[in-house]
């Protein structure tokens, strides 16, 4: 009856063989070679561009993906593997700067920086773009089904509290976003630090409870595509993805303020191929490449030169490329410090616990 143990040993052996075999399917370059470790969100770059970059520069791109800013930061912070280009969201850039995890960019090496629209440079989370360059940007707004919500005007945050939306709103699972709905609807800043005001916002949100069908993450897309709810508070980029699949939906950014977010490109302090990282950023900011990437990803690009190359229909879509006046109402999240963020999360948790 030795067969049990030998069967298990065989499994280990087969596994080792397979692992060894992967070398031949997609040869790993030896570490001496010119490689670039890129760490990005999943499905967030046109793979053809990676191939093009490799061809043009001879640099081999090793591409890894993450699914949350915080988890990414743990990896960058703890080391063990060294990433050369990383794509954090703007609030994470600020945190990473505070924790001294990022390397200042050498703007000389990124001539294509001139392609970025002025509106998107020199933002408060990174003055002078010392550490980061914007990759995509967007807002937070309401995705809704115009047919079933007839008569409701989503250009006002307060509409979400309407009785007709009972049990029919989905919200993204983010403390800042959900608290933001409360704050914006009361005319406060998204970076409010007054505890009393925050408490009030949470109380107001609790009144929204009966309308909330669920607080969900990325799967909100799958749900809205089949009209699981009449309205959803989502990021604009996600709304764009969903509307691609479900044409019956519309998106609007309510007046009275909303969030302006960026996903950015940065170079961690631990980067090994700093020159390659700059080359890669410059490559992505090229007008042609930027336009190609924007078409593939579908989010709004801060790259003015690339923007001009997009279809007129896309360029004039004010839902995703709001005009100057609307943009001025938008606010970027600031890093409010750990205590304040804890408070936001605590209030958010209280709101969640109060659901049903």
Instruction: Name residues contacting another protein, limited to 12-31 (CB under 8 A).
Output: 12, 14-16, 18-19, 21-22, 25-26, 28
B/e letters for 21-49, b = 16+ CB within 10 Å, e = fewer, are eeeeeeeeeeeeeebbbbbbbeebbbeeb
From residue 97 to residue 136, the character string flagging contacts with another protein as x (rule: CB under 8 A) and all else as - is ----------------------------------------
Contact segment (CB under 8 A) with another protein among 56-64, 120-128, 183-191, 197-205 equals 56-64
Find the binding residues for another protein in span 297-316 (CB under 8 A): 297
Q: Please pick, from the candidates 52, 107, 334, 352, the single residue that binds another protein as defined by CB under 8 A.
A: 352
Size of site (CB under 8 A) for another protein: 75
> Is residue 188 near another protein by the rule CB under 8 A?
no
Binding residue per annotation — 43? yes
> Is residue 194 near another protein by the rule CB under 8 A?
no
Taking the CA atoms of residue 3, residue 8, residue 10 and residue 16 in that order, the dihedral angle to the nearest 10 degrees is -170
> Is residue 340 near another protein by the rule CB under 8 A?
no
Q: How far is the CB of 338 from another protein (least distance, A)?
A: 4
Planar angle of CA 231, 237, 238, nearest 5 degrees: 45
- CA distance to 27, 46, 241, 249, 293, per residue, from 303 (Å): 34, 16, 20, 27, 11
Q: Please pick, from the candidates 33, 79, 104, 127, the single residue that binds another protein as defined by CB under 8 A.
A: 79
In the bound state with another protein, the residue whose beta carbon lies nearer, of 6 and 316, is 6
Distance CA 82, CA 183 (A): 39
In the bound state with another protein, the residue whose beta carbon lies nearer, of 18 and 312, is 18
> Is residue 167 near another protein by the rule CB under 8 A?
yes
Find the binding residues for another protein in span 201-220 (CB under 8 A): 213-219
In the bound state with another protein, the residue whose beta carbon lies nearer, of 18 and 196, is 18
> Is residue 200 near another protein by the rule CB under 8 A?
no
> Is residue 331 near another protein by the rule CB under 8 A?
no
H or E stretch at 142 = strand 132-144
Q: Please pick, from the candidates 68, 194, 308, 316, the single residue that binds another protein as defined by CB under 8 A.
A: 68
Q: How far is the CB of 246 from another protein (least distance, A)?
A: 8
> Is residue 75 near another protein by the rule CB under 8 A?
yes
DSSP state of 113: G
The token pair that represents 174 in the structure block = 């983010």
Spell out the SS3 assignment of 220-280.
HHHHHHCCCCCEEEEEHHHHHHHHHHCCCCEEECCECCEEEEEEEEECECCCCCHHHHHHH
What is the CA 29 to chain-centroid distance, rounded? 30
Binding residue per annotation — 307? no
Please say whether the beta carbons of 81 and 39 come within 8 A: no
- Collapse the DSSP code of 90 into the 3-class scheme (helix H, G, I; strand E, B; otherwise coil) and give the result: helix
């Amino acid at each position: 009856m030795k067969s049990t143990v030998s069967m298990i040993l065989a499994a280990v052996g087969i596994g080792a063989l397979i692992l060894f075999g992967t070398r031949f399917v997609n040869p790993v370059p030896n570490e001496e070679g010119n490689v670039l470790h890129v760490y990005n969100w999943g499905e967030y770059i046109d793979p053809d561009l990676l191939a093009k970059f490799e061809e043009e520069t001879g640099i081999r791109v090793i591409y890894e993906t993450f699914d949350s800013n915080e988890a990414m930061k743990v990896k960058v912070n703890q080391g063990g593997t060294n990433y050369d280009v990383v794509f954090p969201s703007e609030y994470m850039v600020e945190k990473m700067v505070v924790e001294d995890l990022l390397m200042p960019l050498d703007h000389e090496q990124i001539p294509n920086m001139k392609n970025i629209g002025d509106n998107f440079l020199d933002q408060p989370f990174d003055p002078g773009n010392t550490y980061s360059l914007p990759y995509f940007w967007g807002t937070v707004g309401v995705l809704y089904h115009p047919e079933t919500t007839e008569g409701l005007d989503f250009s006002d945050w307060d509409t979400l509290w309407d009785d007709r939306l009972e049990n029919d709103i989905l919200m993204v699972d983010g403390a800042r976003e959900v608290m933001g709905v409360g704050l914006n609807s009361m005319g406060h800043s998204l970076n409010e630090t007054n505890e009393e005001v925050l408490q009030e916002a949470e109380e107001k949100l609790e009144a929204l409870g009966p309308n909330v069908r669920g607080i969900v993450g990325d799967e909100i897309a799958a749900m809205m595509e089949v009209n699981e709810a009449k309205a959803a508070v989502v990021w604009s980029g996600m709304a764009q993805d969903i509307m691609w699949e479900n044409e019956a939906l519309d998106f609007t950014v309510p007046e009275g303020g909303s969030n302006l977010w960026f996903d950015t490109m940065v170079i961690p302090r631990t980067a090994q191929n700093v020159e390659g990282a700059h080359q890669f950023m410059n490559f992505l900011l090229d007008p042609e490449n930027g336009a190609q990437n924007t078409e593939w990803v579908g989010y709004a690009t801060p790259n003015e030169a690339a923007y001009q190359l997009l279809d007129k229909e896309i360029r004039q879509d004010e839902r995703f490329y709001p005009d100057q006046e609307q943009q001025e109402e938008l606010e970027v999240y600031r890093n409010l410090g750990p205590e304040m963020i804890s408070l936001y999360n605590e209030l958010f948790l209280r709101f969640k616990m109060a659901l049903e």
